[in-house]
Each structure stands twice: as structure tokens, then as C-alpha cells.
Amino acid sequence: MNVLPRFLRHAPRLSGLCPAVALSTLAHRPIRLVPACCQNRTLQNVPRSRLVQHTGVRCMASSVQIPSDLLFRQLFDYQSYTYTYLLADCQTQEAILIDPVLELVNRDTHLIEDLQLNLKFAVNTHCHADHITGTGELKKRFPSCKSMISKDSGAKADVYIKEGDRVVFGNKELNVLSTPGHTNGCLTFVLHHDGRPVLAFTGDALLIRGCGRTDFQEGCSATLYESVHKKILCMPADTPLYPAHDYTGQTCTSVREEKAYNARLTKTKEEFIGIMERLNLPYPKAIDKSLPANMVCGVLEDLPNK
């Protein structure tokens, strides 16, 4: 069974690096080396013939409209492969940041200032194990900013949110869904427009063609499977999904694609649990530093044993 995201090419570089994703022991596609001008890089042979038609729809591509007065910026951390999301209501200038990274607070601060936004909340989808959150540092830069996380994360924050809550910024809001399994406190945030979801931020619960690993913190494969199917993949097919990480250079996916092509979550629950059990991933490289720091909102001075 091949549960490797099919276009992954960075597995060697990622070995031991990424606690969120599970890749290392998976079967690999045939690889051929490319000529000297791009040595050290691989190009996988893929038969063109496998054009998938099993989804029963004529075209997998569709698009939804986000509100015209919503500012949305996707930001990336090359070290931890983390996506940070800036959302703002253009009318009121109120903004939120989802999953900021400590070392990139400076970049994010400049962007927020350049756009003349008021940062209201710095929100984490969960207590991360692969990077230190920027929420504590952002609160120093933007004194009116409050940090937010799930109470179930066990981490410190100004505001605790749970299933059914709303993260309000200006005239916009995110609906909070509880999607545990990678950790107990994992949340998914959904923005609605014209009565339907148009943006969903899935954290580590659902990644592009993959999912967060379930072998540390409070990881539970059965719980993750239920979360993804009952909370995320039940949304309309063209709902865009924005994960907390990607390791293949992709920025976005959709419910339709993950229901058709997610290598793990298209399986039965029992098969999924088996896949996750057999991953035998290396110990996450940054967890011993990241987790204690994230329990205190990324404020390193507040660490008990700094």
C-alpha cells in the first residue's frame, strides 16, 4: 500500500524534522536521476495513463468566492514548513493571525503594519511540536492582541476557544470546530460567506494528501479519523482547505480532492489506524524545545527551566 503523498520529493531532507507529518518509512515510487545540470535532485517517473475518473464528477476543479472585503494572506516558514495565515476585515482593519512562528514575528509585524491593520487575535490551531508559536512575541508588539488556543491544548493563552465558538474580527468571523486526534486540543477554523464555508484552516488534522501524525502528545488515530470525516470532509466539495503545513510546495487543497486522493483518509477507519501504527516515525526533532515553550504561549522568559 502506497501512502506516500505522490509528489513528495523532500523526504530525505525531512527525516526526523517534521513531527506533524508521517512519511519516512513509506513505500516509494520509482525514481530516476536527472542529468548533471540538476544533480542531487530527483524526478519521479509517473505514468500519464492513471488519469482518475472514479470520482464521478466531470471536473475536479471548481472555485468559491471569498468576501470581497476580506484580506487573506498565506505566509510560510521554510524551516518548519508551517503556514501562517493573516486574515483581516478590510472595513474595520481588525486582523487575526493563525499559527504564527516565533522567528517570523518580525516579518508578520511589518506586514500587519504595512497593511495598517489592528491585530486582535493571534490564534493557534493547536499546541505545536515543530516550532515555537509567535503569539507571545506578537502580544509584545501589539499590546491589544490576545492569544487564543483550545483549553484542551493545556497551553497558556488569554482566550480559550472550543467547538461552537466564534473568532470575531470586524465584520468577519471564524467558526471553531474541535478536530482532535493529532492532539486533544486541535481546532479547525471555518469562514462562511453567502451561507456556505469558503475557507477552512485545518491545522494538523488534515494536510494536503496527508494528515498529522498520531504517535505523540495525545495522538489517537481513531479520533483523528472521526474528526476529519465528521467535521472537515463533510463540508461542500469545493471548500478550500488550508493546512498548517505542507512539504511539497503546495498551498491549498479542497474537500473534493482529499475525499478522492488523500492516501490515508480515503481508507476505512481500520486501515487508517493500521497505516498510522506502521509509520515508525523518528522522534520529532524540535519537540523537546517547542512543546514547553508553546505551553507558555511562546514566551521564553516564562519557561520554568529556561
Out of 12, 27, 51, 56, name the contact with a second copy by CB under 8 A.
51
Out of 4, 17, 19, 77, name the contact with a second copy by CB under 8 A.
77
Place of cell 521564553: 300
In single-letter form, the type of residue at position 121 comes to F
If one asks whether residue 261 binds a second copy (CB under 8 A), the answer comes out as: yes
Q: What does the longest C-alpha to C-alpha distance in the chain come to? A: 58
Q: What cell does 37 get? A: 545540470
Q: Cβ 61 to a second copy, closest distance in Å?
A: 4
Helix (H) or strand (E) holding 42: strand 42-44
What is the C-alpha to C-alpha distance for residues 130 and 142, in angstroms, rounded to an integer?
24
Considering beta carbons, is residue 27 or 52 the nearer one to a second copy?
52
Helix (H) or strand (E) holding 256: helix 255-261
What is the C-alpha to C-alpha distance for residues 191 and 242, in angstroms, rounded to an integer?
12
Out of 68, 195, 280, 304, name the contact with a second copy by CB under 8 A.
68
If one asks whether residue 115 binds a second copy (CB under 8 A), the answer comes out as: yes
DSSP 205-219: TSBTTB-B--SSTT-
Residue pair 66/201 in contact (Cβ under 8 Å)? The answer is: no
What residues from 131 to 150 belong to the interface with a second copy (CB under 8 A)? 132, 137, 141-142
If one asks whether residue 73 binds a second copy (CB under 8 A), the answer comes out as: yes
If one asks whether residue 268 binds a second copy (CB under 8 A), the answer comes out as: no
If one asks whether residue 76 binds a second copy (CB under 8 A), the answer comes out as: yes
Q: Cβ 81 to a second copy, closest distance in Å?
A: 9
Nearest to 257 by CA among 59, 47, 65, 7: 59
In single-letter form, the type of residue at position 169 comes to F
If one asks whether residue 251 binds a second copy (CB under 8 A), the answer comes out as: yes
Q: Cβ 30 to a second copy, closest distance in Å?
A: 11
**What x/- string results for residues 154 through 193 when contact with a second copy is judged by CB under 8 A?**
----------------------------------------
Query: Which range of residues in 19-27, 83-91, 151-159, 274-282 is near a second copy by CB under 8 A?
Result: 83-91
